[in-house]
Structure 1
C-alpha cells in the first residue's frame, strides 16, 4: 500500500496570519481542521511539516529538534516574506513548546499552547513513542504481521540519538516562560497524562503577561485538536484570536 505523505499547507484567508505547529511524531494533520476553520474566519494559516515527520520511521530517527525548530522558523519567515506583518502562533504538544519558544524569541501577536509538556519525559517514554510511530507506519504500509514484527525488532536496535536534545529543548523553553509578555491562551485536556496537566498550570503561572487564559477540556486527551471536543476547541481558539490587537 502506498503511504500518502502529509504535506505542509497554506490556507489563504485575510491579512491576519496564524502559524500552526504539530506534535512530535505527528504531522500537519494535527492542525489541519483548525487551519480550515480559521481560514473561514478570515485568517491565513500556514503549517510546516518537521523534517522526519509523516515519513518512514528510519527518517524520523535521523532528524533532530534543531532541524524541527528550523522548520518552525522557516514557516514564520514564509509568512513574513509573503507580506504578513501580523502573525499569531498556535501549536499542540511539541508544537505548543515551539509556539512558546517563538513567542519568547520573535515578534508575534499572540500564542496558543495546547497540551505542551514543560517537564521532559524519560528517554524510555520518548523511545516508546518512536516505536509506536514505527508500528503504525508499517501497518499503514499494509505489511503482514510477521514482516512488521521482524522489521520492528530490527528498528529497535537503532536508537534515536536526538531524544536527549528533545528533553533539553523542553526544559530550556520552560525557563523562557517569564519572557513571554503577549496574550496567551493555554488549553489542556483533562484525560491527558499528569505531566501535561501540571505543565498547563506551570505555563499559566510562569508567563509574565496579564492577558492570559487557561481552559480545561474534560473529554479530551493529548492531541485535543483531533479529540472529542475538537469543535469547541477550534471555536475557542478563534474567539481568542479575535481578542488580539492586530494593529
Structure 2
C-alpha cells in the first residue's frame, strides 16, 4: 500500500493569523483539531508540512533543520502575503523549537510551545527515526523479512541531519533571552520528565514580559490529540485572545 503524504492546510476565518508547526516524524494532521478550533474562534491558521515528513524515513533523512526552518519562514511569508500583519506561532516539539527561533529572529505576535525539547542528543533522535521507519513500513503492508532487510539498510544511511537537529536545539536554547514576544509554555506531565525541565528552561530564560507555563496531568507528548486536548485548545485560545492584535 502506497501512503499519500499529508498536505498542508489553511483554514481561513478572522483577521488574526496563527502559524501551526508540527513535530518531528509527524505531519500537519497533528494540528488539524487545534486549527479547526481556532478557526471557529475567528483565527485564520496555516500548517505547512515540514520537508520530508509524511514520507519514508529514508527520504526524511535527506532533509534537515535548514529545510524545516525554510518551511517555517515560507509559512510565515504565506500568511504575510495573504495580508496578515501580525502572526502568532504555535509549535509542537520540533515545531516549538522552530517557533522559538522565529521569536528570536522575526517580529512574532506571540509564541506557544508544546512538548519542546531543549536537550536532545542525536542518538535519541535516531531511535525516533528507527521507530518511525518500522511503523511506516508496517502500515505499507510489507512482510517482516522485507522490513528487517530495509531496516538494516537504513542503519547504513548517514544521519548528519540528526546531529544538525541537536545543534539547532542547542542554539535555540542558548538564545532564549532574545525572545521578547509573549510566550505560552505547555508540557505533558505523562511525557518524559526532560520535557518538564525543558519547559521550565524556556519559561525562565525568555525575556518576555508576558509569559505562562502549565503542565497537563493527562498529556503525553502529542498534546494536541491527547486526553487534555480540549483544555490545551482553550488555553491556547485564551493566550491568543490576550495578545495585542
Whether these two folds match at TM > 0.5 is yes
Cα pair 1:96 1:116 within 8 Å, conserved = yes
3-state SS in 1 of match to 2:5: coil
1:18-33 aligned within 5 A: 18-33=18-33
Could you tell me how far 1:4 is from its partner in structure 2? 2.5
1:66-145 aligned within 5 A: 66-119=66-119, 121-145=120-144
Aligned to 1:61: 61
Could you tell me how far 1:221 is from its partner in structure 2? 1.1
Could you tell me how far 1:137 is from its partner in structure 2? 0.9
Cα pair 2:24 2:95 within 8 Å, conserved = yes
1:1-247 aligned within 5 A: 1-119=1-119, 121-246=120-245
Cα pair 2:91 2:97 within 8 Å, conserved = yes
Q: Whole-Å Cα distance in 2 between the matches of residues 141 and 151 of structure 1?
A: 13
Q: Whole-Å Cα distance in 1 between the matches of residues 6 and 151 of structure 2?
A: 22
RMSD between aligned alpha carbons? 1.0
Q: Whole-Å Cα distance in 2 between the matches of residues 73 and 240 of structure 1?
A: 23
TM-score by length of 1: 0.96
Q: Whole-Å Cα distance in 2 between the matches of residues 170 and 151 of structure 1?
A: 29
Unmatched runs of 5 consecutive residues or more in structure 1: none
> CA offsets per residue over residues 181-214 of structure 1, 9 Å max, x none?
1211000101111221100001110111121110
Q: Whole-Å Cα distance in 2 between the matches of residues 199 and 78 of structure 1?
A: 30
Q: Which moved more, 1:17-26 or 1:223-232?
A: 223-232
Cα pair 2:96 2:114 within 8 Å, conserved = yes
Cα pair 1:35 1:45 within 8 Å, conserved = yes
Q: For this pair of structures, how many residues does the alignment match?
A: 245
Unmatched runs of 5 consecutive residues or more in structure 2: none
TM-score by length of 2: 0.97
